[in-house]
Structure 1
Amino acid sequence: MSARLFVVTIFAILVVEFVVFLPSAASYRQNWLNERIQAARIAALSLEAAPSRMVSEELSNELLERAEVLAVAELSDDMREQILPPTMPLDGPTKQIDLMEEGMLGAIGETIATWGAPDDRMLIIRAMGSAPGRVLEIVVPESPLKHGLIAFGWRILGLSLLISLTAGGIIYLLLFFLVVRPMQRVTASVIQFQKDPASWTKRLSPTPRRDEIGLAQNALADMESAVSDTLRQRERLALLGEAVAKINHDLRNTLATAQLASDALSTSDDPRVQRSVPRLERALERAIKLASETLKYGRSNTPEPRLQTVNLHQATTEAAQEALSQQPDTRFENTVPDHTDATADPDHLHRILANLIRNAAEAQDGHGEVMVRQCEKGLEICDRGPGLPAKTLENLFKPFAASSRRDGSGLGLALSRDLARSMGGDLELIETGPEGTCFRLVLP
C-alpha cells in the first residue's frame, strides 16, 4: 500500500504539471514572438531619424541582425512598405501568424505544431503597426523558436520531476504517518484477532485522535477487547458446564436418596421430626428441580422452528390450562379473538405462553389475575402483580440471574426469548410497576 500510495501521488502531480505545461509553453512562444516584434519596432524607429528614411545596406543588415529578424515591412491600405529588406532571398516553407487574432487555444495548437515543424520553415508574423490602421509584418526563422521550446520543455520536465519527487515524498510521509501506519496497526490487530480471538494479545493502544481513523481504531480496540473477554468467559463457562454435567448424575442420585430418607422420617412420631420434615422435603425438591433445569438448559439446543398457521386464541387457552393447573385461584382472561391466526411454531408458542402465564400467576401467589390480549405485533401477557424488582430488571433475560423468586432459576424468560427469536420474533418487557407487569410476544 505504501509503494502504491507513493506512485499514485507522483503520477497525480505529473498529470497536473502536464495540464499546466501546455499553457506555459504557449506563453513562452507568445513572449518569444512579441520580443521579435518589439525588436523590429525599435529597428524601424531607427529609420525615422535617417534622411528620407533611408540607411545604408550595412546598417540595415546590422539592424536586422540585432533584431534577430529576416525582414521588416509595414502594411497600410493595401500598400506594402519594405522598411528593412531581407539580405538574401527568402526561399522555403512559410507559416503566417496574426498576433492580433490569435487566442490561447490557437496559441496552444500552434505551439504543438512548432515542435514538429521543419527546421527551414519561416514565420511571417503580423502585429499592430506604428499607427492605427497600419500593420507591422516581420519574417523570422522558426528554428530558434522550435529549439527554444524544446529546451523549455526539458527544463519544465526536470522541474516537474523535482517538484513531483519532493511534493510526493512530503505527501507520502504525511499520509504514511497519518493514515498508512495507523491502518497497518489496525490490520495487524485484526489479522491476529482473526487467527485466535480467545488469546488475542496485540491490543491497540488508545489514541487521542478525533478523526475517523482515530475513532475507528478506538472502536476496534474496544470491540476486540469485549469479544475476547466474552470468548474467555464462555470458555470458562463451558468448562464449568462440563463439570456440572459430570457431577449432575451423582448429585441427583444423592438427592433422591436424601428424599427417600425424608419420606422415612415422615413416619416418625417425634413432634420435632414432624415439624422439620416438610421443610426438608421442600428444600430437596427445590434442589432436584434446580439440578434438572440446569442440566436441561446446558444440553438443550433450540430446535429448528416449523412455522405454520396457528390459532392464537386456542393456543393461548391450551397454554393457560397447563400453566394454571396448580394455580386454580388465579383468574385468567383471554381477549384474543376466536379466529385470529398467526404464523408460528406450535410447540415453541405453547412453551412461551405457558411459561409467561405461569410466571404471572406465581408473581401474585396464585390469587391474582392474568390477561392475554392481541396487539399489533403479536400478543401481550399482563398481570396485576407487584411488578419486577430493580435487581431483576438488570438481568431480565440472563439465565440463573433474572428470577425474583427464591426457588426460581431464572431460565424461563431466557428460554422463552430464545424460542421467540428462533421463529423470527422476540420477547420484550413493555412495563412493570405496582400496577402489574406486561410482556409483549412479537410474532413473525
Structure 2
Amino acid sequence: MAYLRNIAAPFRSLSARLLVLTLVFVMLAEVLIFVPSIAFFRLNYLANKVELAHLATLSLLASPDNMVSEELREELLFRVGARSVVLHGANSRLLILSENMPPAIDAEFYLANQSPLPLIEHAFMSLVVGPGRIIRIISPLENEPNSSLEVVIDEAPLIEAMYDYAWNIFWLSLIISTLTAILVYLSLHWLMVRPMRRLSESMIAFRRAPENVSTALIPSKRRDEIGVAERELEIMQTRLRSALKQKQHLVALGTAVTKISHDLRNILSTSQIVSDSLSEVKDPKVQKVVPRLMTSIDRAIDLCTQTLKYGRADEQVPRKERFLLEPLVNEVKTSVGLRENNGITWRNKIPSGLMLNADRDQFYRILLNLCRNAVQAMEGEGTVDIQALRAGSRILIRVGDTGPGLPAKAKQHLFEPFSGSARAGGTGLGLSIARELVVAHGGEITLERTGSSGTIFCIEIPD
C-alpha cells in the first residue's frame, strides 16, 4: 500500500491532474474521430479495388475477341488483388476474370448508398472476425447506371491495411494528445495553478502567523476571477490583522480595567459603609444628600461588579433545574429598587404555574439586567410589563417598557459591550451579559419592537 501511495503522490497536485485529464480527454476525442475514419478507410480501400477491377475490365473488353492468355489473366488478377471479376449489365452477366477454382463466398457487401452506421459496423466486424474470409463486393459503375461490377477478394490484405492505418492513427493521436496536453497544462499552470498556489500559500502563512505583515499577499493586476480573489483575500487579511491587533489591545485594556475595577469596588464598599453611618445623622441637609449619594455609590459598585464578571469571561455552565418563574420575577422587582410612589408600574403577567428549566441564579441576572434597563429608560414614570407563554417545546418571555425607545446608534450595536448603551454614561454590559447567559442556555434574545411607545425584548428558552 505504501508503494502505491508513493506512486499516486505526484498525481494529487492540481497540475498533475490537469495534465492527466487533458491527455485522457484528447485521446477520447481521437477515439471518437478514429471510429468513423476506420470505416471510411475500409470503404475507400474497397472502392479502390473496384476501380482497379474496372480498369482491368476495360482492358479486356478492348482486346480482340475478349481473349487473354493464362499468364495475362493471372497478372491482371494479381494486380487487382481479386479472385474474380464479373460485369453485370441490364440483362447480362459477363465473367471477366476468374481463378480456375472459384472460392466460396463468406460475406457480401454493397458499396452503393452506404450510411455511416453500417459502414462502422462492417469495419469493426472485419477486425473482430479476423483474416480468412472471402468477400464479394458489388458496386455500381460511374456513368453507367444499369451496370455494376462484382469483385471477389481475400479480406486478409484489407484487415492488414486497416491495422496499419489504426496504428498510424494511434501514434499520431498519441503525439497530438501529448502535445495538446502539455500546451494546455502549461497554460493552465501559468493562468490558474500558480495563482491558486500563491493564494493557498498566503492562507497557510496567515494561519501560522497572522500578525506577520511580511507574509501578506500582494494582489496582481488581473481582472478575472482569480484577480478578484487575490484582492478580496488581501482585504480580508488586512482587516483580520487589524481586528486581531485591536483585540490584543482590548485584552490588555480589559486586564487593566479589571484590576482598576477590583480596587475601585473595594474603595466604594468602604464609602458605602461610611454613607450608611451618615444616614443616622439628623441634619436635614445630610438627610437630603444621603439618598442620592447612596444611589450613586450603589450604581458604581454594580458597574464595577459587572465589569469584573465580564472581564473574567468565566461564566459557569448553567446548572439547570425546574423552578417557578413568577416568584423569580417578584425577586427581580425587589432588586430593581422600585418604590410604591415612584411613578413606575410593575406588571407581572407570568402564569402562576409556569415552570422554567434553567439556572435560577443566571436567569435572575438576565431578568435583572433587562428590567433595570427598562426602569432606567422610563426615567421615573411608565410601566414595566413581563409576560411568558409556552410555545411547543420552548418558552417565550417578553420584557417590555413604555419608554421612549432605543436610538438608532444603540440598535446597531445592541448586544456589544461598551457600545450598545441607550443612555448617556451607560456601558451596554447589561444586555451583553444577558445575551451571553441566554445563549449559554441554548436560547436566543432578540429586540422584538422599539419605538416611541416603548421597547420589548423577547427571550426564547428551550424547555
What TM-score, normalized by structure 1, do the two folds share? 0.81
1:96 maps onto 2:114 in alignment: no
1:106 pairs with 2:121: yes
Quote the residue 2:367 is aligned against: 353
User: CA-to-partner distance for each residue in 1:81-140, whole Å, 9 max, x for gaps?
Assistant: 431133x7678x9753423598234323234237x53xxx46432213568897643233
- Counterparts in 2 of 1:373 and 1:139: CA distance versus 1, 3 Å: same
Partner of 2:3: none
Higher alpha-carbon deviation: 316-325 or 160-169:
316-325
Picking from 194, 211, 214, the partner of 1:181 is 194
* In structure 1, distance between residues paired with 2:283 and 2:349: 53
Matched ranges for 1:360-399 at <5 A: 360-374=374-388, 378-399=396-417
Q: 1:237 — aligned with what?
A: 250
Aligned 1:64-75 pairs, distance under 5 A: 64-74=77-87
Q: Deviations over 1:186-244 (max 9, x none)?
A: 22122223323344653344567776655655554444444433332222222222233
DSSP 3-state at the match of 1:44: helix
Distance 2:164 2:453 in 1: 94
Moved more, 23-32 or 277-286: 277-286
Match of 1:338 in 2: 352
* Structure 1 residue 180 displacement after superposition: 1.8
**Change over 3 Å in CA distance of 1:189–1:406 after alignment to 2:** same
1:125 aligns to 2:147 (yes or no): no
- Work out whether residues 266 and 277 of structure 1, in 8 Å CA contact, stay in contact via their aligned partners in 2: yes
Contact 2:261/2:307 (CA < 8 Å) preserved in 1?
no
Q: Does 2:44 align with 1:31? A: yes
Structure 1 residue 160 displacement after superposition? 0.9
Q: State the AA in 2 paired with 1:107.
A: H
The number of residue pairs the alignment matches comes to: 438
Distance 1:215 1:324, change over 3 A: farther
Structure 2 residue 314 is matched with structure 1 residue 301: yes
**AA at the equivalent of 1:98:** F
Distance 1:323 1:275 in 2: 22
Structure 2 residue identity aligned to 1:238: V
1:152 alignment counterpart: 165
Residue matched to 1:7: 20
Question: Residues 238-265 of structure 1: CA distance to partner in whole angstroms, max 9, x if unpaired?
Answer: 2222233444444445556677888999
Query: Larger deviation: 61-70 or 158-167?
Result: 61-70
Q: Give the drift of 1:164.
A: 0.8
Query: Which residue, out of 320, 326, 333, partners 1:320?
Result: 333
Compared CA separation, residues 253 and 370, structure 1 to 2 (3 A): closer
TM superposition shift of 1:11: 2.0
**Secondary structure, in 3 states, of the residue corresponding to 2:215?**
coil
For 2:457, give the aligned amino acid: F
Contact 2:85 2:98 in 1 (8 A): yes
Q: Which amino acid aligns with 2:98?
A: P
Identify if the C-alpha distance between structure 1 residues 274 and 384 changes in structure 2 by more than 3 Å, giving closer, same or farther: closer
- Contact 2:366–2:434 under 8 Å retained in 1: yes
Shift in alpha-carbon separation, 1:215–1:111, aligned structure 2, 3 A: farther
- Is 1:423 the counterpart of 2:437? The answer is no
Q: Secondary structure at the match of 1:443?
A: strand
CA RMSD of aligned residues (A): 4.0
**TM-score w.r.t. length of structure 2:** 0.78
- Contact 2:387-2:398 within 8 A present in 1 as well: yes
Q: Pick one of 156, 181, 184 that aligns with 1:168.
A: 181
